[in-house]
Chain A
C-alpha cells in the first residue's frame, strides 16, 4: 500500500509517495539515494543507521515510512552547518575518530544528539551514549576523544 507523506528532510520540505512498510533506512538509501546512512545489521543492534527523527536519535532500520508524516529527519548528509562541517565532524577528522568509516555516520549522529542534550559530558557519559553504536576498527578511544573535543569547541562557540 502506497502512502503519501510530507516530511522535512535535512531542512527541506519533501513530499514522498512510499510503500507504508518501507523502512526509513531503505527509503533513504534506495528511494532517495542518500547512502550516507549505513546498514550494518538491519535489526537495530549496531547503530550504523542512526538518524535524527524530530531531534532524537533512532535506528532508521526499525522505523516504517508510513509513520513519518510530518516528521523532521536529519541524516549525516544534513549534519553540516551551512557549508561548514559540524564541530563533531571536524573533531573526528582531527583526532582519528574514523577508520573504515562505516559506523561513522551513525556515530556522528548519535554524538550530535548527545551534545545537543549535554554540552559538557564526562567520558563515561559519552561512552554510555555511544554504547549502541558498534565500531569494529577503532577501539572507541579516539571517538570518545573526538566527542570531547567537539563538546569543548561547541561550548567555546556558545561562550564566544
Chain B
C-alpha cells in the first residue's frame, strides 16, 4: 500500500482559526435583514386539555407582527412516528411544550406579548415514569396513536403508552438458567440528563411570499433528514424547502430532528416574507428541546462456576417523554446489544419505549449504550465476583472475538475488544493495589472497568463532490455537519490524501441543501466511515479525470502517472511535474474545474427481524471500547472522587490521532459528569427543577481526573483506510466503570445514577445497618 501522507497524522483542525478569533458564525449569532423576533408560550401543565386560548391582547400589543397557535399551524411531524404538533393541538403533554408563539419587532416586545396570552387548561393524570405510564389501565397520552403514521420497523406495544416494543429472542433463557450454577437478578436505573451543548437552540425561517419556498437557517445535525420531515409535515415538495447550516456550538444528539424549527416556520407563514428568528434561552433549551432517555433496566443472568455466561434476560423501559422523537430507535439500537459484548447462547430482551408526561427524550451521544452498559457492566462484575473471578479475567473469557456469531445472528469481524480490555486495564495498573492508598488515607480506594460494543445506523447513504479548480484549490461538498467533532478536518485529510494536495488547499463548502449532495445525518458515529468513503471516492474520481487530462500533456499512459504535493508526473520522471491547476488551465482554461462525485451506501445491512431481533448484518461496523477507573470514596461524606481514568477505543484507523484523543477526553468528561452528578430533576408536577447551569451541574475544569486516552486500531476492511467511528462511545462505559470501582472500594453495589454524595452516603449507612 502507498504510504499515507496526511491521513493518520495529528493535523491541526482546519476550522479552528475562525473559532479562536471570534469570526465563526453560529446559528445563535445569525442576523438576517429585516428579521423579526419570536418568543414562545410554553405549557405550564404536564398533561391537560386546552379549553381556551385567548391571543387577542397579544395581537394588539404594539410592535407585534404575528401571533400563532396550533390552529394556525395545523401540522404534525415526527421521523419514526409522526406524533408531534408544531404547536400544541387541543392538549399539552409536558411542562414546556410550545403552545403559542409571537413574532415582534424585537425580543422584549415579543416576550411582553407572550405574557398577555391566556390559556385555560383542564388537568389530566400525568405519568412521570415509564414504568407507571405503561401499567395496565393507564390512560393514553396519545389518544390517536393507532392512526399515526409510523416507519415500517415500529412495533407498538400491547401495553398502554408503549410506542415501540423491541424483541430479541435467541435460544431458550429458561433452559439457560436451569443449566447455570448461579442465577442473579437485578434492577438498575439511569435518570434523565441533558445534552447541554454550550450553544442554546435557535432557528431562523423565512417563507417567500412569491414562490412559497421555505428557507430555514439552523445548526441542525441532519439537515437533509430535517428537510424531509418538514416536507412531509407541510405537504410541500422537497425542492420548496431549503436548509442552510451555520456553525453548530455542540449538539450531542440534541440538534437533530426538529426542535425550534417548527416554531420559526409557523411564525414565518404570518410575517409577509420577513425572516423570523427564534432563540431559546438556556432555561427554554433545558425544558423544551430534548433530553436523554431515563431508563429502568431489569437484568437476569445465569453463569456456570467456570465463569461461562449461559443466559441473559433483560427488560428495559425507556422513558420517551411526551413525543416519540428518536426513542423508538434508541430503544431498538440500545436494546439490541444491551446484554453486552459477550458470547451467550440464551438471550431474551424486551425493550419498551414509553411515552411519559416529561420533556421529550431521544438521541443523545451513545444512543442507548450508556444506559444498557450501566446495568450490564455492573451486573457482569457481580457475576464475576460470585464465581470468584477477576472482572477482567471474566470478561476476557466471555467477550466476542473475531468470527463469533453474536446473539442477534451476525458473524463479527474486526473485533478489537480484547485489546481495549487489556490496554485500558494496564493503564491503571489493574491487579495491583492502588499506589495512591497512602495519599488518600482515610478514603476507600478501588478500581473498576467496563466495556461496550456499539453499532451504527445502517444502511445509510453519504454522497460527496470534490471540485478542483485551475488555481489548484479544492472544494469538498459534503453534507456532514461540523458539530465540533472535527469532521471538516477529517474529510479535508481524506481529500488531501487522495489528491495528494496540501491540506491548506482543501476547503469545505458551506452546508446548504440546495447545493450540497445528500447525506443521511451527522449521527451515530457514522461520518468518518460513510462520508469518509464518499469523499475518498469522489476525490479518486476527480483524480482519475485529472490523470486522463494530464496523460497526453506528459506524454505517458494514465497508469504511469503519479501524484504528489499538488502535482502530477510520470513515475519515472518526477522532475517534469505539472501542478494540477496547470493541467486544468491547459485543458479547460483559467476558469475550468474538474469535479469528482461519489455515493457510499453500506448495501449489505439488513433490517432486524421484528419478532426475533435477528439480522446477519445489522451494522456497517461496530465500535468497541473499554474504560477503567480508579476512585477514592469518602465514607464520611459519600463523595466519590475519580483519581484517574483510562479509555481504550478501537477506532479501526485513527485518521487524526490528535482528534481521536480529543474526542475520547471529551466523552470521558461527559461520562464522568453523568456518573457523578448530572441529573435533570423533574418534580411531581412534571416541572424541571434545575433548568440552569447553576443547578444542573456540568463538569468544570476542576472536576476531572487524569485521563488516559488510548487508541486501538483493529482495521475495518470496508472503512476508509480501515476507519470505524469514535464520537459516541467516549461516554458509554464511563459510569459503569466508575460504579464498578466504587463497588470495589466500598464493597457496596449502587444501582441508580448519579453516584451523588447523598446516594453513596445513604448506601453506606444502609449497609452498616444491614451488617449490624
A interface residues with partner B (beta carbon < 8 Å): 29, 33-43, 45-46, 48, 75-77, 79-80, 85, 89, 92-94, 96, 98-105, 108, 126-128, 130-144
Chain B residues, CB < 8 A from A130: 700-701
Q: How far is the CB of A51 from chain B (nearest CB, A)?
A: 11
Chain B residues, CB < 8 A from A48: 198
User: Which one of B13, B20, B199 has the highest number of Cβ atoms from chain A below 10 Å of its Cβ?
Assistant: B20
The answer to whether B12 and A136 have CB atoms under 8 Å apart is: no
A49 to B693, CA, bound (A): 14
- Residues 355-368 of chain B, each 1 if its beta carbon lies under 8 Å from chain A, else 0: 00000000000000
Given contacts A45-B692, A131-B702, A142-B662, contact A40 B198 (CB under 8 A): yes
Given contacts A131-B702, A140-B669, contact A93 B198 (CB under 8 A): no
* 28 pairs, CB–CB < 8 Å, chain A vs chain B: A34-B22, A36-B21, A36-B23, A37-B22, A38-B249, A40-B199, A40-B693, A43-B693, A45-B693, A46-B693, A76-B22, A96-B13, A96-B661, A100-B484, A101-B16, A101-B249, A102-B199, A102-B249, A102-B484, A105-B22, A130-B700, A131-B701, A136-B252, A137-B666, A138-B669, A139-B669, A139-B707, A143-B701
Shortest Cβ-Cβ A-B pairs, 4 listed:
A36-B22, A100-B484, A102-B249, A101-B19
A133 to B703, CA, bound (A): 13
User: Which one of B198, B247, B662 has the highest number of Cβ atoms from chain A below 10 Å of its Cβ?
Assistant: B198
Given contacts A96-B659, A99-B485, contact A42 B282 (CB under 8 A): yes
Q: How far is the CB of B290 from chain A (nearest CB, A)?
A: 14
A128 to B702, CA, bound (A): 6
Q: B588 interface residue, CB < 8 Å from A?
A: no
User: Which one of B12, B29, B658, B661 has the highest number of Cβ atoms from chain A below 10 Å of its Cβ?
Assistant: B29
Chain A residues, CB < 8 A from B665: 138-139, 141-142
Chain A residues, CB < 8 A from B707: 139, 141
CB contacts under 8 Å to A, within B637-676, are 658-659, 661-662, 665-670
Q: Apart from A102-B249, A139-B665, list 13 A-B contacts with CB within 8 A.
A: A29-B29, A35-B31, A36-B24, A39-B28, A46-B198, A92-B20, A102-B198, A103-B198, A127-B702, A131-B701, A138-B662, A139-B669, A139-B704
Given contacts A96-B662, A143-B701, contact A137 B250 (CB under 8 A): yes
The answer to whether B198 and A136 have CB atoms under 8 Å apart is: yes
Q: How far is the CB of A78 from chain B (nearest CB, A)?
A: 9
A94 to B658, CA, bound (A): 10
Chain A residues, CB < 8 A from B340: none
Closest B residue to A142 by CB, please name it.
B662
**Partner of B484 from A34, A85, A101, A140 at Cβ < 8 Å:** A101
Chain A residues, CB < 8 A from B483: 100
Q: B197 interface residue, CB < 8 Å from A?
A: yes
A42 to B202, CA, bound (A): 15
The answer to whether B704 and A141 have CB atoms under 8 Å apart is: yes
CB contacts under 8 Å to A, within B11-62, are 12-13, 15-17, 19-26, 28-29, 31
The answer to whether B20 and A108 have CB atoms under 8 Å apart is: yes
- Residues 56-76 of chain B, each 1 if its beta carbon lies under 8 Å from chain A, else 0: 000000000000000000000
Q: B200 interface residue, CB < 8 Å from A?
A: yes
Q: B694 interface residue, CB < 8 Å from A?
A: yes
The answer to whether A102 and B22 have CB atoms under 8 Å apart is: no
User: Which one of A36, A45, A128, A136 has the highest number of Cβ atoms from chain B below 10 Å of its Cβ?
Assistant: A136
Closest A residue to B662 by CB, please name it.
A96
A142 to B659, CA, bound (A): 11
Chain B residues, CB < 8 A from A108: 20
A99 to B248, CA, bound (A): 10
Q: B196 interface residue, CB < 8 Å from A?
A: yes
Instruction: Count B-side interface residues using an 8 Å CB cutoff.
Output: 53
Q: How far is the CB of B625 from chain A (nearest CB, A)?
A: 15
The answer to whether A127 and B701 have CB atoms under 8 Å apart is: yes
The answer to whether A41 and B484 have CB atoms under 8 Å apart is: no
A144 to B665, CA, bound (A): 13
Chain B residues, CB < 8 A from A79: 21-22
The answer to whether A35 and B29 have CB atoms under 8 Å apart is: yes
Q: How far is the CB of B13 from chain A (nearest CB, A)?
A: 7
The answer to whether A39 and B200 have CB atoms under 8 Å apart is: yes
Chain A residues, CB < 8 A from B19: 98, 101, 104
Q: B698 interface residue, CB < 8 Å from A?
A: yes
Chain A residues, CB < 8 A from B670: 136, 139
Q: How far is the CB of B643 from chain A (nearest CB, A)?
A: 15
Chain B residues, CB < 8 A from A96: 12-13, 658-659, 661-662
Closest B residue to A46 by CB, please name it.
B693
Q: B411 interface residue, CB < 8 Å from A?
A: no
- Residues 265-295 of chain B, each 1 if its beta carbon lies under 8 Å from chain A, else 0: 0000000000000000110000000000000
Q: How far is the CB of A88 from chain B (nearest CB, A)?
A: 8
Chain A residues, CB < 8 A from B704: 139-141
Chain A residues, CB < 8 A from B250: 99-100, 102, 136-137
Chain B residues, CB < 8 A from A102: 26, 197-199, 249-250, 484
The answer to whether A35 and B22 have CB atoms under 8 Å apart is: yes
Chain B residues, CB < 8 A from A105: 20, 22
Chain A residues, CB < 8 A from B666: 99, 136-139
State the majority secondary structure of interface residues on A.
Answer: loop
Q: How far is the CB of B72 from chain A (nearest CB, A)?
A: 28
A41 to B281, CA, bound (A): 7
The answer to whether B693 and A134 have CB atoms under 8 Å apart is: yes
A100 to B693, CA, bound (A): 19
Closest A residue to B672 by CB, please name it.
A139
Q: B486 interface residue, CB < 8 Å from A?
A: yes
The answer to whether B16 and A98 have CB atoms under 8 Å apart is: yes
Q: How far is the CB of A69 from chain B (nearest CB, A)?
A: 23
Chain A residues, CB < 8 A from B31: 33, 35
Closest A residue to B26 by CB, please name it.
A102
A36 to B249, CA, bound (A): 12
Chain A residues, CB < 8 A from B661: 96, 142
A42 to B486, CA, bound (A): 27
Chain B residues, CB < 8 A from A37: 22
The answer to whether A136 and B701 have CB atoms under 8 Å apart is: no
The answer to whether A135 and B198 have CB atoms under 8 Å apart is: yes
**Partner of A35 from B25, B484, B668 at Cβ < 8 Å:** B25
A101 to B282, CA, bound (A): 18
**Partner of A134 from B281, B485, B698 at Cβ < 8 Å:** B698
Q: How far is the CB of B288 from chain A (nearest CB, A)?
A: 16
A132 to B248, CA, bound (A): 22
Chain A residues, CB < 8 A from B198: 38, 40, 46, 48, 100, 102-103, 134-137
Closest A residue to B250 by CB, please name it.
A100
The answer to whether A41 and B24 have CB atoms under 8 Å apart is: no
Closest A residue to B25 by CB, please name it.
A35
**Partner of B698 from A77, A92, A127, A136 at Cβ < 8 Å:** A136
Q: How far is the CB of B160 from chain A (nearest CB, A)?
A: 36
A93 to B489, CA, bound (A): 13
Q: How far is the CB of B697 from chain A (nearest CB, A)?
A: 10
Q: How far is the CB of B318 from chain A (nearest CB, A)?
A: 23
Chain B residues, CB < 8 A from A131: 700-702
The answer to whether B20 and A38 have CB atoms under 8 Å apart is: no
A18 to B23, CA, bound (A): 24
The answer to whether A140 and B21 have CB atoms under 8 Å apart is: no
A34 to B29, CA, bound (A): 9
Chain B residues, CB < 8 A from A29: 29
Closest A residue to B285 by CB, please name it.
A41
A35 to B118, CA, bound (A): 35
Closest A residue to B196 by CB, please name it.
A136
- Residues 699-723 of chain B, each 1 if its beta carbon lies under 8 Å from chain A, else 0: 1111010010000000000000000
Closest A residue to B279 by CB, please name it.
A39
**Partner of B17 from A35, A45, A93, A134 at Cβ < 8 Å:** A93
A96 to B281, CA, bound (A): 28
Chain A residues, CB < 8 A from B702: 127-128, 131
A99 to B198, CA, bound (A): 11
Closest A residue to B24 by CB, please name it.
A101
A80 to B25, CA, bound (A): 18
Q: How far is the CB of A134 from chain B (nearest CB, A)?
A: 5
Q: How far is the CB of B658 from chain A (nearest CB, A)?
A: 5
